[in-house]
């Protein structure tokens, strides 16, 4: 995946976070776009539901 595509996914995920009223709703909204958010020791990781690979790690300080 190209850097611009990863930035697009990050922007989408963060926009949806701003629209959601809870963590649960946020994860549900993102699943509708084909992505999953999971907690890891490194932080929250966004992965593709179709390709089943990790795309990026979110730093939500």
Q: How confident is the model at residue 61 (pLDDT cuts 50, 70, 90)?
A: low
Q: 33: pLDDT confidence band, cut at 50, 70 and 90? A: very high
**Structure token digits, residue 36:** 């999953």
Q: Residue 57: pLDDT band by 50, 70, 90 thresholds? A: very high
Q: What is the pLDDT of residue 42?
A: 86
Q: Quick one: average pLDDT of 30-45?
A: 94
**pTM of the entire structure?**
0.89
pLDDT-above-70 percentage for the chain: 98
Number of residues that this document lists for the chain: 61
Spacing of C-alpha 46 from chain mean position = 4
- Measured CA to CA in angstroms, residue 51 lies from 1, 22, 44, 48, 61 at distances of 11, 26, 18, 5, 28
């Amino acid at each position: 995946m190209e850097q611009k595509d990863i930035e697009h996914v990050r922007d989408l995920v963060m926009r949806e976070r701003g629209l959601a009223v809870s963590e649960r709703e946020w994860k549900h909204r993102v699943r509708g776009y084909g992505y999953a958010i999971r907690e890891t020791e490194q932080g929250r990781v966004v992965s593709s539901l179709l390709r089943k690979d990790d795309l990026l790690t979110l730093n939500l300080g």
